[in-house]
Amino acid sequence: MLPRLVPRQPLRLFRWQAACAQGASVQRRTWASRIPRLLGPWGPVGNSPPVCRRSSSTPAGSPEVALTQERYPVKRLPFSTPSEADLAAFERIIPGRVVTDTEVLAASNVDWLRTVRGCSRVLLRPRTSEEVAHILRYCHERNLAVNPQGGNTGMVGGSVPVFDEIILSTALMNQVISFHSVSGTLVCQAGCILEELSQYVEARGFVMPLDLGAKGSCHIGGNVATNAGGLRFLRYGSLHGTVLGLEVVLADGTVLNCLSALRKDNTGYDLKQLFIGSEGTLGVITAVSIQCPPKPRAVNVAFLESPFYVLIETSGSRAEHDAEKLNDFLEQALRSGLVTDGTVATDQMKLKALWALRERISEALSWDGYVYKYDLSLPTDTLYDLVTDLRARLGSQAKHVVGYGHLGDGNLHLNVTSEAFSRSLLDALEPYVYEWTAGHRGSVSAEHGLGFKKKDALHYSKPPAALRLMQQLKALLDPKGILNPYKTLPAQA
């Protein structure tokens, strides 16, 4: 056991000790009065659980989003245009679930950040894998492009059409198929909402291995397709480890049933890995088998400051033991001078309120105007350097240059805001940000994927041989290129 150190600030330390030793909810007076202001229009801490549903609603009077094809240099590929006969064929496959209503389509054509917009005229809502297979077989034959769509909460323009691709929504594929109450293996359809799955498994003593700010809207299939990282990555690892199996429908309608629930399966190539993070370009994920860890019996959240704000969550099985370890850590942090103030919570409502401060930064930024987003993996010791560098470089061109992310994962979310989209600001940011990242041996996408906006930056993080192999895999699995075209891979590798 580490020797207890004599603190330089005994009063503060006493507060920490009291907080941790009681193992109870603690809200320090100084902080209690500050947090509500930080929360702004979302209300004070502890009054109600945070609402994490994402919609593309923005401040009143926001202008219509520019069409992607007008804002960016992109050309429509020679796919067929959906005809009346195609709509009739879809109606036969999924009666009553072929949507052409302009209001529904308007919402599904725009990303929630309101930065890219397609002009699809049809959205399909299958309920089963067989229906997805039937639809894709038809589209493949007819050379119709398809945009698979989950909760449409992506950050890189991957979930909305660029032109008139048919939107294939997983919204009605929302059934839990099985849950094993001893192993914690969950098998479900791709359109299950992450937060609903969390509630489902938590009621059975488990937790989902991933958690995101967008949990109230995002679909598990979309999470897997984009290899979403999120807030529990440090604790439970990547979806490449927690996903046990997938069912995927390939571009020609073939159903690839690799929905294994086994922990170990070493029979040749692990094909499911190809689809995790493929962003709907290699196949449409229709069902997921995922390993859920046991629900921790003790959770502490600490929120510290100065000059950076850090949110730390501990999860374990014995409250007293965890409190003691956290107390030791905080004691050392205070004594070292790295931390000057903070709060610790164990009570559910307060935990949620503290997490809301972190989870809703994205949403808060979208109220600041147009947001240029970069999601970078960098060595932790240089994580913030780009933020200060850019503030100096951009000067008054940007409204705000904000850096936050997942410190434990070495993941910086660099957000630059301006009143409206500006080509010259974009040119000041790119390729500078990518070159800076590559120069520090980082990755241009840590957890958001490449989608439409980052596809041309792929070469900053992957060698030419890897790009060629990716193109070859795409050609093998989707020879006509109908699945989520204009995304993930650059037009010419």
Ligand X SMILES: O=C(O)CC[C@@H](O)C(=O)O
C-alpha–C-alpha distance, residues 315 and 371, integer Å: 34
Query: Interface with ligand X includes 474 (CB under 6 A)?
Result: no
- Give the residue with the Cβ less far from ligand X, 314 or 415: 415
Nearer of residues 406 and 474 to ligand X, judged by Cβ: 406
- Judged by CB under 6 A, does residue 153 bind ligand X? no
Considering the complex, what minimum distance in angstroms separates the CB of residue 322 from ligand X? Answer: 24
- Least distance to ligand X from the beta carbon of 199, Å? 21
The reply to whether 377 sits near ligand X by the rule CB under 6 A is no
Residue 298 or 361: the one with the smaller Cβ distance to ligand X is 361
What is the DSSP code (8-state) at residue 145? -
Cβ distance to ligand X smaller for residue 105 or 210? 210
Instruction: Give the contact letters, 36-75, x = binds to ligand X (CB under 6 A), - = no.
Output: ----------------------------------------
The β-bridge partners of 284 are 249
For residue 218, the minimal CB distance to ligand X (Å) is: 11
**CB of residue 413 to ligand X, shortest distance in Å:** 4
The residue among 184 and 405 lying less far from ligand X, judged by its C-beta, is 405
Q: CA 455 to CA 465: how far, in whole Å?
A: 16
- Cα atoms in the Cβ-side hemisphere of radius 13 Å centred on 113: 25
Contacts of residue 144, defined as CB under 8 A and 6 or more positions apart, other chains included, come to 79, 80, 82, 86, 138, 166, 482
362 near ligand X, judged by CB under 6 A: yes
Closer residue to ligand X in complex, CB, 233/275: 233
Q: What one-character-per-residue DSSP string does 40-69 give?
A: GGG--TTSSPPP----S--STTPPPPPPHH
CA distance 94 to 103: 20
**Least distance in angstroms from the C-beta of 415 to ligand X:** 5
Q: Report which residue type is found at 88.
A: A
Within 10 angstroms of residue 77's Cβ, the number of other Cβ atoms is: 16
Query: Distances from the Cα of 285 to the Cαs of 256, 374, 380, in angstroms?
Result: 9, 26, 33
Report the DSSP beta bridge partners of residue 291. Answer: 185
**Residue closer to ligand X, measured from CB, 122 or 414:** 414
Choosing from 413, 455, 474, 480, the residue that interacts with ligand X (CB under 6 A) is 413
> How many residues contact ligand X, by CB under 6 A?
7
Min CB(242)–ligand X separation in Å: 18
Instruction: List the one residue from 125, 134, 272, 373 that touches ligand X (CB under 6 A).
Output: 373
Q: Which is nearer to ligand X, 364 or 493 (CB)?
A: 364
Using CB under 6 A as the binding rule, whether residue 415 contacts ligand X is answered as: yes
Is position 174 an interface residue for ligand X (rule: CB under 6 A)? no
Nearer to ligand X among residue 215 and residue 413 (C-beta): 413
Residue 371 CB, nearest approach to ligand X (Å): 7
Please list the alpha-helical segments (H only) found in 207-347: 220-225, 233-236, 239-242, 272-275, 319-336
Residues 6+ apart with CB under 8 A from 180: 186, 261
List the beta strands (DSSP E) in 292-386.
Answer: 298-305, 310-316, 341-345, 370-377
213 binding ligand X? (CB under 6 A): yes
Pattern 422-461, binding to ligand X, x per CB under 6 A? ----------------------------------------
Nearer to ligand X, 322 or 447 (CB): 447
167 in helix, strand or coil? Answer: strand
User: Is the separation of the CB atoms in 158 and 484 below 8 Å?
Assistant: yes
Instruction: State the minimum distance, in angstroms, from the CB of residue 166 to ligand X.
Output: 28
C-alpha–C-alpha distance, residues 433 and 464, integer Å: 20
Shortest Å distance, C-beta 385 to ligand X? 18
Q: Closer CB to ligand X, residue 16 or residue 236?
A: 236
Contact present, 46 and 349 (Cβ < 8 Å): yes
For residue 124, the cross-strand partners are 98, 168
Sign of the Cα torsion 235, 238, 244, 247 reads positive
**Shortest distance, position 426 Cβ to ligand X, whole Å:** 16
Provide the edge-to-edge strand list for the sheet that holds 166-169. 98-99, 123-124, 166-169, 146-149
- Sole residue written with tokens 């959205």: 123
Give the nearest distance from C-beta 355 to ligand X in angstroms: 11
Segment 154 to 173, residues that bind ligand X, using CB under 6 A? 155
User: H-helix or E-strand containing 248?
Assistant: strand 243-249
For residue 488, report the phi and psi dihedrals to the nearest 5 degrees.
70, -50
How near is the Cβ of 402 to ligand X at its closest, in Å? 9
* 79 or 112: CB nearest ligand X: 112
Q: How far is the CB of 405 from ligand X (least distance, A)?
A: 6
Nearest residue (CB) to ligand X, 231 versus 250 = 231
Binding site for ligand X (CB under 6 A): 155, 213, 361-362, 373, 413, 415
